[in-house]
Copies of this chain bind each other. A is one copy, B any other.
Amino acid sequence: MSIKANDPSRKSWLPVPPESDFPIQNIPFGVFLTRDDVITIGTRIGNTAIDLGALHQLGYFNEIPLTDDIFLQDSLNDFISDGKKTWRLVRNRIAELFDRNNRELQHHEEHKKIILFDLDEIEMQLPVQIGDYTDFYSSREHATNVGKMFRDPENALLPNWLHIPVGYHGRSSSIVPSGTPIRRPYGQTHPGESGTPVFGPSKRVDFELEMAFITTDANKLGEPIPIAEAEEYIFGLILFNDWSARDIQKWEYVPLGPFLAKNFASSVSPWIVTLDALEPFRVPSPKQDPLPLPYLRQPGPGSFDIHLEVELIPEGGAANTISRSNFKYMYWTMAQQLAHHTVNGCKVNSGDMMGSGTISGPTPDSYGSLLELAWMGSKPLVLEGGERRTFVEDRDTVVMKGHCKKDGLRIGFGEVSTQLLPALPAETFPG
B344 touches A187 (CB 8 A): yes
Q: Interface residues of A toward B: which range? A: 35 or more
Taking CB atoms, residues of chain B closer than 8 Å to A199 are: 293-295
Interface of chain A residues 163 through 179 with chain B (CB within 8 A): 163-164, 166-174, 176
Interface string of A410-431 (1 = CB under 8 A from B): 0000000000010010001111
For residue A316, CB closer than 8 A to chain B, the reply is no
Q: Are B265 and A171 in contact (CB under 8 A)?
A: no
A280 in the interface (beta carbon within 8 A): no
- A197 CB contacts on chain B under 8 angstroms: 160, 163-164, 293
Which residues of A does B touch, CB under 8 Å? 131-132, 134, 137, 158-160, 163-164, 166-174, 176, 182-183, 185-188, 190, 196-199, 202, 221-224, 226-228, 245, 248, 251-260, 263-265, 290, 293-295, 297, 340-341, 343-349, 352, 421, 424, 428-431
Chain B residues, CB < 8 A from A186: 224, 343-345
Q: Is the CB of A257 within 8 A of B257?
A: yes
Shortest A16–chain B CB gap in Å is: 35
Q: Return chain B residues, CB-CB under 8 Å to A172.
A: 131-132
Instruction: Flag if B343 contacts A168 (CB, 8 Å).
Output: no
Whole-angstrom CA separation of A348 from B171 in the bound complex: 10
Q: How far in angstroms is the closest Cβ of chain B from A11?
A: 42
Q: Given that A199-B293, A255-B253 are known contacts, is A263 also in contact with B160, CB under 8 Å in the complex? A: no
- Measured in the bound complex, the distance between the Cα atoms of B245 and A198 in whole Å is 35
Please measure, in the bound complex, the distance between the C-alpha atom of A349 and the C-alpha atom of B158, giving whole angstroms.
36
Q: Is the CB of B294 within 8 A of A174?
A: no
A430 touching B160 by the CB < 8 A rule?
no
A169 to B297, CA, bound (A): 28
* Contact indicator A259/B176 (Cβ below 8 Å): no
Contacts of A226 in B (CB 8 A): 429-430
Please determine whether A260 and B169 come into contact, CB atoms closer than 8 angstroms.
Answer: no
A297 touches B131 (CB 8 A): no
> Within the complex, what minimum Cβ distance (angstroms) separates A245 from chain B?
7
Residues of chain B within 8 A of A248, CB atoms compared = 344
Q: Which residue of B lies closest to A250 (CB)?
A: B160
**Chain B residues within an 8 Å CB radius of A159:** 190
B222 lies within 8 A of A182 (CB): yes
A-B residue pairs, 10 tightest by C-beta: A294-B431, A257-B257, A185-B344, A168-B256, A169-B169, A183-B222, A264-B344, A256-B257, A173-B347, A263-B346
Cross-chain contact A254 with B344 (CB below 8 angstroms): no
